[in-house]
Amino acid sequence: MKKTTLADFQFPDTSDIERQVLSDAVFNADLFPDMMQLITPDMFFNESARKTWEMMEQMYNRGEVIDAASLMGRMGKEFGNLVFSESIVPGASFSVLQHVSVLRDAAAKRNAYWFAIKLLETSVKPETTEDALAMILEPAGEEIKLPTLKQKK
């Protein structure tokens, strides 16, 4: 029987769903306020995607139009040549809210992955005690930082 190793656990790749959620936000601007209630910038692992989402939130909060033309103009000016400039395209088989749900799930999995790595790093140290491990495991739900809904203002 093959033993499981760390190499058997791939880091959750969220790049495709991050691009899709950004695309959804651009091409379904009427749903952007609802999306803002469900998504926080830290759900985006890719820094460019996170900055793009933050910029879109700022544009929305200033009452600016979020569309492909204004976003491309801003992205070029403020962030240079981002990978996502060529990737944002309309159309998908899922609904916008399904994409948001997939992104939230992926963010929770990624946070759990990092928590597991932290636990493993601690558990292999010779000086680690049972009490030290218990202290890490006890607040696991908070440590993993599962996505929560934003409070409406």
Cβ–Cβ < 8 Å for 71, 56? yes
Would you state the pLDDT for residue 148?
Answer: 53
pLDDT exceeds cutoff 90 at 61: yes
Which residues 6+ apart lie within 8 Å of 85 measured at CB? 72, 75, 76
Where helices occur in 11-124 by DSSP H, the ranges are: 15-27, 32-38, 47-61, 68-79, 96-123
How far is 55 from 41, CA to CA, in rounded Å? 10
List, for residues 101-142, the tens digit of each pLDDT value. 888 888 888 888 888 888 888 888 899 888 888 877 776 655
Q: Which amino acid is at 109?
A: K
pLDDT band at 144 (very low <50, low <70, confident <90, very high): low
How far is 116 from 140, CA to CA, in rounded Å? 10
Decide: pTM greater than 0.75.
Answer: no
- What is the number of residues in the chain? 153
How far is 153 from 149, CA to CA, in rounded Å? 12
Which residues 6+ apart lie within 8 Å of 87 measured at CB? 19, 23
